């Protein structure tokens, strides 16, 4: 397929780009600078320098594509308005029967011990806006619509898990301060496994499908913190952080990190034959992949 991809030089998008090229698809990447364009071209894509806020450009690129895969987001207070405007422009440009694959997130389901794609949404304020946009995508007339909801994405030593290593050292002997109390579980997925899910969904998913992008590994933050503490020479010592202190320190992002979530991602395995195989996040920590430079 001819795929119009956003976020092609980001953590998720760069892995998706590589997976798409490896699967024989052609990709046009919308990037914000010439150096990013050079990186996209080196990975095998055609590149267009521009911005996802340029709605005429978005509409034009969508018109020439068989599919749009959206992995880019401002990641700030403008995310809702920017992603919504981008989505509307892309849907307007796509020809009937083309595909729109949107990146959501498992946080929209709130805390739950066995999350599936059908778990009612109970989103923290940070991502509550996604429900309306996701609904708009899934009900778009004449378009094959797909949503992937990744868990905590790791790999290449970057992403949210790096926050664990950045915790404050407290006490004597020193211990690593956790993100929150440490009892909460994080759903996780390696970025390269996640990228394979995007390709499988692009090639096989039915219109209106939603898939959790999670590997089935759901470590507690304490388990992650203890692994990080050992790598930092602190002998696995950790100290919990009061939930209110986490929110005071990190705001709405902190509220999301306090969610206690577990999920298997079984639907994607069953329907798409997806087989996540990379080492777990705890194993990544133990292997030194997130050691500070």
Residue 127: predicted pLDDT: 97
Quick one: average pLDDT of 97-126? 97
Residue 293: predicted pLDDT: 82
Residue-wise pLDDT for 193-203, tens only, equals: 999 999 999 99
Check pLDDT > 90 for residue 5. yes
Quick one: average pLDDT of 108-125? 97
In a domain? residue 257: no
Return the percentage of the chain with pLDDT > 90, whole number: 100
Q: Rounded to the nearest 5°, which phi and psi values hold at 149? A: -115, 90
**CA–CA separation, 213 and 216 (whole Å):** 9
Which residue segment(s) compose the domain that 204 sits in?
Answer: 2-155+189-214+263-276
Of 219, 3, 229, whose CA–CA distance to 94 is shortest?
3
With b for 16 or more beta-carbon neighbours within 10 A and e for fewer, the 63-76 pattern comes to eebbbbbbbbbeee
In a domain? residue 249: no
In a domain? residue 89: yes
Average pLDDT score over the chain: 97
Check pLDDT > 90 for residue 91. yes
Residue 142: predicted pLDDT: 96
In a domain? residue 174: no
Check pLDDT > 90 for residue 6. yes
**pLDDT interval class at 277 (50, 70, 90):** very high
In a domain? residue 236: no
What CATH number has the domain bearing residue 65?
3.40.50.720
Residue 203: predicted pLDDT: 98
Residue 65: predicted pLDDT: 98
Quick one: average pLDDT of 114-120? 97
pTM of the full structure: 0.97
In a domain? residue 161: no
Domain count, the chain: 1
In a domain? residue 180: no
Check pLDDT > 90 for residue 178. yes
Check pLDDT > 90 for residue 168. yes
Residue-wise pLDDT for 227-264, tens only, equals: 999 999 999 999 999 999 999 999 999 999 999 999 99
In a domain? residue 56: yes
């Amino acid at each position: 397929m001819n795929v119009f991809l956003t976020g092609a030089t980001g953590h998720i998008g760069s892995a998706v780009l590589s997976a798409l090229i490896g699967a024989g698809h052609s990709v046009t990447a919308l990037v914000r600078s010439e150096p990013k364009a050079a990186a996209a071209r080196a990975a095998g894509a055609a590149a267009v320098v521009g911005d996802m806020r340029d709605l005429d450009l978005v509409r034009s690129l969508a018109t020439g594509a068989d599919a749009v895969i959206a992995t880019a987001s401002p990641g700030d207070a403008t995310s809702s308005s920017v992603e919504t405007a981008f989505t509307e422009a892309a849907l307007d440009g796509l020809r009937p029967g083309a595909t729109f694959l949107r990146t959501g997130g498992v946080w929209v389901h709130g805390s739950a011990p066995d999350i599936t794609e059908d778990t009612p949404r109970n989103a923290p304020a940070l991502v509550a806006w996604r429900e309306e946009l996701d609904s708009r995508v899934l009900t778009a007339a004449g378009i094959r619509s797909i949503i992937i909801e990744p868990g905590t994405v790791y790999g290449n030593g970057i992403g949210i898990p790096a926050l664990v290593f950045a915790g404050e050292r407290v006490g004597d002997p020193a211990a690593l301060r956790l993100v929150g109390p440490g009892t909460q579980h994080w759903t996780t997925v390696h970025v390269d496994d996640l990228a394979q899910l995007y390709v499988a969904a692009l090639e096989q998913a039915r219109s209106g499908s939603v898939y959790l992008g999670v590997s089935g590994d759901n470590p507690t933050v304490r388990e992650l913190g203890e692994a990080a503490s050992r790598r930092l020479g602190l002998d696995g010592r950790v100290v919990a952080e009061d939930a209110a202190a986490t929110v005071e320190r990190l705001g709405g992002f902190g509220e999301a990190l306090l969610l206690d979530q577990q999920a298997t991602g079984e639907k994607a395995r069953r329907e798409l034959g997806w087989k996540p195989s990379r080492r777990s996040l705890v194993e990544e920590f133990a292997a030194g992949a997130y050691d500070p430079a």
